[in-house]
Amino acid sequence: MKVDDVVIIETSPIERVKYCLVGLPDVGLVGAISVSYIVKSLNMLETGYLESDLLPPVMVVHNGDPKTPFRVYNKGDLTAITSEVPVNRNAVDPMARCIVDWIKSKNVELLISISGIAVQNRLEIEAPMVYGVGTSPHVRELFKKADVKTFEEGFIAGLHAVIAKECLKKNVPNAILLAQSHLQYPDPGAAVSSVNALNKLLDLKVDVKRLTDQAEEIRIKTRELMHRTQRSMQQMQKGQEQEMPMMYT
């Protein structure tokens, strides 16, 4: 492994990945909360982890068991990649290449990135909407069937943007789900909307009641992670997502 490489170590072999979810700490922690909740709800098994000198020198401990913060889970047709620490700016490009190359080698049918899109009036929104960005007409047709509104105009920054670029280069179907969310605060409500969208998109049947009931507890527990994630987002120009792109006619 070269110094600037990111690799996925499979602790239990995965023969094929049909659907892969990627949810890492960024806007509102929407992706991290959503994917972590799905992993627990479906009792997905930990099957690997991401390794690199570019990743933070951190281990997390759960029930006395030390683990790397960037982990891979699997159950049946579903694989999930999530993290309990933010991604360093220097790790974004090699991590995106690693994820896309790995799932392509597993003959993936759809890679789904879950994130948030900050909206100024989030406090006035009871049920956040989820928008979709698809790298192919087929993916955008899936959005229609799942009642996911297409994200028509704007910027996407950070890891999910680089994943989309790599998917376009390597012909890997990619969907990005963006839930209306707070920018600087953990947003379990936006995560609820994301999980509901995934239920329709992949027929997961994940009950969101516990996520709704534990929203305040999640906000408190993830507050420090949100603070660390803010610094990472600033490095990746996440604020640009609230701008509108130049149109040429």
Q: What tokens does 232 get?
A: 């990472």
Query: Distance of alpha carbon 17 from its chain centroid, rounded?
Result: 16
DSSP characters over the chain: --TT--EEEESS-----SEEEEE-S-GGGHHHHHHHHHHHHTTPEEEEEEE-TTS-S--EEETTEEE-SEEEEEETTEEEEEESSPPPHHHHHHHHHHHHHHHHHTT-SEEEEEEEEE-TTGGG-SS--EEEEESSHHHHHHHHHTTPEE--S----SHHHHHHHHHHHHT--EEEEEEEE-SSS--HHHHHHHHHHHHHHH------HHHHHTHHHHHHHTHHHHHHHHHHHHHTTGGGGGSPPP---
Q: Whole-number mean pLDDT of the chain?
A: 90
The per-residue pLDDT for 169 is 96
List the CATH code of the domain at 7-236: 3.40.50.10900
The per-residue pLDDT for 249 is 39
Integer Cα distance of 198 and 217 in angstroms: 23
pTM for the whole structure: 0.90
Q: What is the pLDDT of residues 90-126, one digit of tens each?
A: 999 999 999 999 999 999 999 999 999 999 899 899 9
The per-residue pLDDT for 52 is 92
The per-residue pLDDT for 226 is 85
The per-residue pLDDT for 12 is 95
Integer Cα distance of 34 and 186 in angstroms: 11
**Residue ranges of the chain whose pLDDT lies below 50:** 1-3, 244, 246-249
The per-residue pLDDT for 56 is 85
